Each structure stands twice: as C-alpha cells, then as structure tokens.
Chain A
Amino acid sequence: MDISLLFRIAAIGILVAVLYQVLVRAGREDQAMMTTLAGLIIVLAMVIKEISELFTTVRTVFGL
C-alpha cells in the first residue's frame, strides 16, 4: 500500500497509449485493441486488490 502503485498505473497507461499508436501505425488495429484491453485488465486487477484490502480493513475496524 504505497505510492509506487500510482506510478505503476501511470506507466502502464502511457505504455498502452504508446503501444496503441505504434500498432495502429503498423496497420494492426486488432492487436492495438488487444493491448489496450490487456492494459485495462492489468490495472483493474491491481485496483481490485487494493480495494479489497481497504474493505477488509474497514470491516475489521468498524466491526461490520
């Protein structure tokens, strides 16, 4: 639970944007779409892990 997660998400976002442009220039639109989706799913997995940690902590703190 630290700030490196934020930087990782920013890096993945920019990487996917660059990859998308490169693949579109190379004429492979479908693979470009795949990389965008893959990037989204990776970041989603990271965010969900953090959210579940938050929910379990709140549950233990408040006795929910």
Chain B
Amino acid sequence: MEVIKIIGVAFIALIIVIILKQYKPEYTIYVSILVGALILLMVLDELTGIINLLQNIANKTNINSKFLGLLLKITGIAFLSEFAISICQDAGEGAIASKIEIGSKIIVIAMSIPIISSLLEIIIKILP
C-alpha cells in the first residue's frame, strides 16, 4: 500500500517538474529536492521498525552494541549522502556530486577505524 503512495507522489512531482521546466527551469530543482525529502520521510517510519529488530537481535546474541550503533550511523551517512548525490547529478552538477561522495566515504572510513582495529586484534590473537 505504501508503494502506491510513493509512486503517486513521484508521478505528481514529475508532472509538476515538466510543467515548471517550460516557465521557470530553476524551480525544478526545488520540486525534486522536496519530493525526495517527502518520500524519504514516508519511508523512515518502516526503517525504525527494522532498526529495532536489529537491536533486539544484537542484544540476544550479545554482539557489542557499540558496533551496531556505528553500523547504523554509517548507513545513515550513506542514506543522506545518496540523497544529496542523486539530486546534484539530476541538476547536472556531477562535480559537486563526486565531492559529496568523496567526503562521505572519508567520513565513513574515519568512523569505522574502531571496528578495523578490533578486527585486527582478533586476527592477531588467532594467529599462532
């Protein structure tokens, strides 16, 4: 049922973009940003359910909750930067999109340093 709403909103926005493209091309970028935010906000409710499920599983199997929190942060960064990248590419600004991509990749790597270091420790322990 949710998909139908998303597709409906997307088509409405598409029609509005096409209409505005003839009169005021600079407004199309506003409509695309707004419809992107609208659809993402619609989807975020289901996402909280998934995240709660993950946390329950992590608590049961006593995985270190710090890592799960970090993974969620990284997915959030990917979620937002993909939103920005696709809008920049849509507007024809590939350079800005690639800058956002590089920046978010560096931030993700910087945040995952604790995971990498703990992984190395585990490997060193296993080695004879």
**Which residue of chain B is the closest to A59 with respect to CB atoms?**
B76
Q: How far is the CB of A56 from chain B (nearest CB, A)?
A: 11
Q: Are B44 and A5 in contact (CB under 8 A)?
A: no
**Cβ of B116 under 8 Å from chain A:** no
| Residues of B close to A51: CB separation below 8 A | 33, 37
**Cβ of A9 under 8 Å from chain B:** yes
Cα of A9 to Cα of B33 in the assembled complex, Å = 12
How many chain B residues touch A (CB < 8 A): the figure is: 31
Cα of A41 to Cα of B23 in the assembled complex, Å = 17
Kindly count the residue-residue contacts between A and B in the assembled complex, taking CB atoms under 8 Å apart.
86
Give the contact-size bracket for chain A.
Answer: 20 to 34
Q: Are B19 and A10 in contact (CB under 8 A)?
A: yes
**Which residue of chain B is the closest to A48 with respect to CB atoms?**
B33
Cα of A13 to Cα of B37 in the assembled complex, Å = 19
**Which residue of chain A is the closest to B17 with respect to CB atoms?**
A10
Per-residue CB proximity of A33-56 to B under 8 Å, as 1/0? 000000010011011001101110
Add 15 more A-B contacts to A14-B24, A62-B73 (CB < 8 A).
A3-B9, A3-B12, A6-B12, A10-B19, A12-B27, A13-B20, A14-B20, A17-B24, A44-B30, A50-B37, A54-B37, A54-B41, A62-B51, A62-B72, A63-B69
Residues of A participating in the B interface, judged by any CB pair closer than 8 Å: 1-3, 5-7, 9-10, 12-14, 16-17, 40, 43-44, 46-47, 50-51, 53-55, 57-59, 61-64
Name the 6 nearest CB pairs between A and B, nearest first: A62-B76, A17-B23, A13-B27, A54-B37, A13-B24, A10-B16
